[in-house]
């Protein structure tokens, strides 16, 4: 996992360890194969974006992931298990081996 330890350039990105996340109601856990970061997210990390609230430090960046669903919480359809997905994590959490995302009803 990668954490942002302060606001600034890429030097504030620090590799680290964290416990595996557990899915809450209506959520799934994605084994991350690809993590995305938008230009806006880089500006938030730098502390120069005025359109978004600054996250509390430290935080795990990355609002978009792709990978395979490895766990489903209560109220999440278990047919998600094993599926390859592209998912939003909210505003943070994607730069990790495992990330939590809200599940929607599967599409066939």
State which residues form the domain around 67. Answer: 2-102
CA–CA gap between residue 39 and residue 77 (Å, rounded) = 33
- Distance from first CA to last CA of the chain, Å, rounded? 32
Residue 108 lies in a domain: no
CATH value at residue 45: 3.90.180.10
Exposed/middle/buried for residue 76 (C-beta within 10 Å: 0-12, 13-18, 19+): buried
Residue 107 lies in a domain: no
Closest CA to 55 of 106, 4, 11, 102: 4
pLDDT at 57: 96
pLDDT under 70 in the chain at which residues? 106-108
pLDDT at 105: 73
pTM above 0.85, yes or no: yes
pLDDT at 107: 66
């Amino acid at each position: 996992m990668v954490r942002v330890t302060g606001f600034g350039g890429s030097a504030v990105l620090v590799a680290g360890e964290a416990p595996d996340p557990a899915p809450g109601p209506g959520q799934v856990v994605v084994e991350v194969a690809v993590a995305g970061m938008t230009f806006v997210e880089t500006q938030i990390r730098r502390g120069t974006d005025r359109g978004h609230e600054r996250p509390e430090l430290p935080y795990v960046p990355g609002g978009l992931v792709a990978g395979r669903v490895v766990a489903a919480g209560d109220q999440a359809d278990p047919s998600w298990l094993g599926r390859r997905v592209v998912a939003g994590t909210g505003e943070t959490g994607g730069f990790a081996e495992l990330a939590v995302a809200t599940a929607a009803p599967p599409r066939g």
